[in-house]
Amino acid sequence: MDCINALKPERVFHYFKEMSRIPRGSGDMVKIADFCVAFAKERGLSYVRDNADNVVIYKPASDGYENSDTIILQGHLDMVCQKTEESNKDFLKDGIDLIVDDGFLKADGTTLGGDNGIAVAMVMAILEDNSLSHPAIEAVFTTDEEIGMIGALQLDMGLLKGKKMINLDSEEDDTATVSCAGGSDFNVSIPVKKVKMTGKKVTVTLKGLLGGHSGVEIHKGRANADILAGRFLNAIKGLDFGIISINGGDKSNAIPNSCCIELCVKEPENFEKPAYEVLREIEKEISDREKLIGKIIFENDGEYDVFDNETAKNLIFSLVCIPDGVMAMSADIPELVETSLNLGILKTEEDKIILHSALRSNKMSSLYYLEERLKVFFSAFDCEIKTYGHYPAWEYNSNSCLQDLYTETYKEIFKKEPKVAAIHAGLECGVFAGAIKDFDCIAIGPNIFDVHTVNEKLDIKSTENVYNLLVEMLRKML
């Protein structure tokens, strides 16, 4: 990681490098919270760490800013862990290997964790720099944002005096985000009954898709490997086979880029050609946008446990008919996706098949209606339904002082007009806005591309620009 030492701002990338050494996938927050606590202790800053491993670090106002309003600077500690098939990275033990490439910071074979590690790195650089001018700062580092904003939802907002917040979880450096979607998780467990079947084991893989963030990139029409697997199974259901297992995707908020189906086939000689014809048809349809690769591998003859007819029927019905992707566009904000869902996890366990979708909407009423649609849909057969992880939408505030300050400062530094936008992804701003009276907030951040994928990359110059913008905004909060 020595290549990182020459990057500017030096201390921002120093802390990002240090964080990249620490495993911090969602659900594994202890070590990164320890890192934040150690940072505060070493600099004599007061802090609070709660039972969810959220960490709040307090820095007093600099001279002359004692009467200014307290500002909250906020980012989340966890990252989405994805890796290439070739990578042997163990996200529970290993850090991320960083690469500098043509003006971008990337990771070797994994997601980068720029979402949202760069926010924490920026805030740490500000907290340690006593030469900066700023009001009192409450630095809020939350946990498990990527799996339902769990940390933010458990945070005691009484720990905060500030009513103004700059969230640093945005990914376009010329844009202030001022509204976001709410969301929930919808989990279905289909009971599995099995029967014995004799034949040849066949593994069908669908891979090579782009995947991506199920909020930010849902409007791009990227193919969902789990949905395509259902299409494949439905198209070949006239052939004599049984389903051993099906697995695709492991994060509800990431569009699955691969899926693996294990089958038992009675007559391989009558299976291969029609099955490949179906794969080639699907590949051809997807090829204009992505490079889907479908493979069929014939393995050992034997006796296998396969889904019985009823289980297979319920699975294929679910995958073919479940709503997925964009459900509605906003009538108020041009080009904004209002409501969507993503089947992000398809997993076979011993006695059940799990389908886990991430639901989003900028209108909570539409979110709840989408949940009801799914409940009615899955009432067609026996299954267990759970909805959880609800987080609120963040509604637009037309009287935001922070929006005005951002616009003014951006124009002064970069000599052009910035954008102000709403997004379909969920941000923790909605949780804070729902809990703090008279709350004012914006979300900003550097350019990050292909988040939640192994192609994730952080624009280095953009990071410097946003950091300088943030520092100048703090200086002007006198």
For residue 97, indicate whether it is catalytic. Answer: no
* DSSP letter string, 198-263: EEEEEEEEEE----EETTTTGGGTPPPHHHHHHHHHHHTTTSSEEEEEEEEEE-TTEE---EEEEE
Instruction: Select from 36, 210, 64, 68 the least CA-distant residue to 136.
Output: 68
Amino acid symbol at 332: D
> Residues 28, 138, 145, 324: which is the catalytic one?
145
| Rg of the chain taking only CA atoms, in angstroms | 24
* Those residues with Cβ within 8 angstroms of residue 331's Cβ, 6 or more apart along the chain or in another chain: 338
> Residues 78, 115, 171, 262: which is the catalytic one?
78
On whether the CB atoms of residues 296 and 261 are closer than 8 A, the answer is: no
How far, in Å, are 92, 101, 240, 254, 271 from residue 212 at the CA level?
A: 22, 21, 35, 6, 33
Q: What is the DSSP letter of 80?
A: -
The end-to-end CA distance of the chain, in Å, is 38
Q: What is the DSSP letter of 110?
A: B
C-alpha 167/C-alpha 248 separation (Å) is 32
Which residues lie across from 355 on neighbouring strands? 188, 346
Check whether the bond before 268 is cis (ω within 30° of 0): no
C-alpha 28/C-alpha 77 separation (Å) is 10
What's the distance, CA 459 to chain centroid?
19
Amino acid symbol at 131: S
For residue 350, indicate whether it is catalytic. Answer: no
C-alpha 69/C-alpha 470 separation (Å) is 16
Show which residues are catalytic: 78, 145
